[in-house]
């Protein structure tokens, strides 16, 4: 028997933590040392608090008497539904590698985490594929907009990494149609764990992580379903909508400003994952750079804002790799704060 506040260890898995709440009669939420809550069956927990009391010879506390007088229609506790966020319609699921120290990933453990970045309830089957066989590692469910630890690996494990395999089924209550299951296999090169740049800032963890997308780009899948006539209609409507727009806002003949905030680039970004939005922003940077170079613009300023600094880092990486001959720096602090990067395309 466990209660909120008890320290527990997983019976058939590595790890443990503190019981924070009851999901239902047979399942509790356990918060680990990393701060994540994991739903876990009570039958598969070892109550460390009870073990310590026995070792110290402390008598267990008597169970409180149940008071039944004047108590009517007390509802049974319901299973937590998870957190659903407005505007999320896309089934976005991610496989993440989170090292203890992202600057030196080999010094400690790396946690493998399944992230459900959607309003769907997710059923998962996670396995290793090695020697033409699938070996089950873990299966279960993940509530909307939450995550679950799958396992941990260390440096010794890198010499023989398996393929990581997922089979997923996702759903919501009162849906009008069923969704196809998702199957995905990842082959991760051990070399990635020797490179600090493999682990980047992200929206899911306070630590840097390697984030791999499990589900395909939903917009691309829907596009494949369109007929040729549908595509022609989309192209024509897009041309009409974009005709009056200028590619960027000109501050003067010498300086061009490009606002990379996603609401400035798209009328509606709902349904896009963070990674998809980042790809759109970086495509904008590259296209505007090419246009500015062709137009002999003197300077171009990319307004990315502060945020968590992810977009700024990716813009910097793109400029270094694809436009190495051009010098860039933080734009005027007085005018933009720390939220913009200026590229000098020509001097004079």
What CATH number is attached to the domain comprising 216? Answer: 2.60.40.1600
Report yes or no on 70 lying in a domain: no
- Tokens for 104, please give them: 């030196």
Q: For the segment 129-171, what is each residue's pLDDT rounded down to a tens digit?
A: 999 999 999 999 999 989 999 999 998 898 889 999 999 999 9
The count of structural domains within the chain is 3
Do 248 and 333 share a domain, yes or no? yes
Do 138 and 186 share a domain, yes or no? yes
> The CATH number of the domain where 293 resides is what?
3.30.1370.110
Do 210 and 134 share a domain, yes or no? yes
Antiparallel, parallel or unpaired: β 255-259 and 299-303:
parallel
Report yes or no on 227 lying in a domain: no
Do 266 and 325 share a domain, yes or no? yes
Report yes or no on 84 lying in a domain: no
What pLDDT does residue 53 have?
A: 58
CA distances from 332 to 168, 229, 260, 338, 339 (A): 48, 48, 17, 8, 9
Report yes or no on 157 lying in a domain: yes
Residues in the chain with pLDDT values less than 50 = 63-81, 219-221, 241-252
Report yes or no on 201 lying in a domain: yes
Report yes or no on 237 lying in a domain: no
Report yes or no on 212 lying in a domain: yes
> The CATH number of the domain where 49 resides is what?
2.30.30
Q: For the segment 17-45, what is each residue's pLDDT rounded down to a tens digit?
A: 888 877 777 788 888 776 677 788 888 88
* Residue ranges making up the domain that contains 333: 244-344
Q: What is the mean pLDDT of the chain?
A: 79
């Amino acid at each position: 028997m466990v209660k909120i506040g008890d320290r527990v260890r997983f019976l058939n898995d590595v790890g443990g933590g503190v019981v924070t709440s009851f999901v239902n009669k047979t399942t509790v939420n356990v918060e680990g040392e990393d701060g994540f809550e994991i739903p876990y069956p009570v039958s598969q927990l070892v109550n460390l608090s009870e073990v310590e009391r026995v070792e110290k010879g402390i008598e267990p506390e008597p169970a409180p008497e149940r008071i039944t007088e004047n108590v009517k229609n007390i509802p049974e506790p319901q299973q937590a539904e998870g957190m659903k966020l407005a505007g999320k319609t896309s089934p976005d699921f991610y496989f993440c590698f989170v090292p203890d120290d992202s600057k030196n990933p080999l010094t400690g453990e790396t946690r493998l985490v399944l992230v459900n970045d959607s309003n769907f309830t997710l059923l998962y089957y996670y396995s290793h594929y090695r020697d033409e066989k699938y070996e089950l590692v873990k299966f279960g469910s993940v509530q909307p907009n939450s995550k679950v630890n799958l396992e941990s690996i260390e440096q010794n494990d890198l010499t023989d990494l398996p393929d990581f395999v997922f089979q997923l089924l996702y759903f919501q209550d009162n849906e009008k149609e069923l969704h196809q299951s998702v199957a995905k296999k990842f082959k991760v090169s051990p070399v990635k764990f020797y490179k600090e740049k493999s682990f980047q800032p992200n929206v899911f963890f306070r630590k840097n992580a390697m984030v791999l997308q499990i589900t395909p780009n939903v917009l691309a899948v829907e596009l494949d379903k369109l007929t040729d006539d549908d595509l022609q209609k989309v192209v024509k409507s897009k041309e009409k909508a974009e005709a009056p727009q200028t590619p960027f806002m000109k501050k003067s003949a010498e300086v061009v400003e490009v606002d990379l905030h996603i609401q400035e680039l798209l009328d509606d970004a709902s349904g896009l994952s963070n990674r998809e939005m980042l790809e759109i922003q970086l495509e904008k940077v590259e296209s505007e750079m090419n246009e500015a170079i062709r137009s002999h613009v003197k300077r171009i300023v990319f307004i990315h804002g502060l945020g968590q600094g992810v977009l700024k880092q990716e813009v910097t990486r793109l400029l270094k790799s694809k436009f190495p001959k051009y010098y860039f720096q933080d734009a005027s602090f007085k005018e933009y704060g720390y939220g913009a990067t200026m590229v000098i395309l020509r001097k004079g």
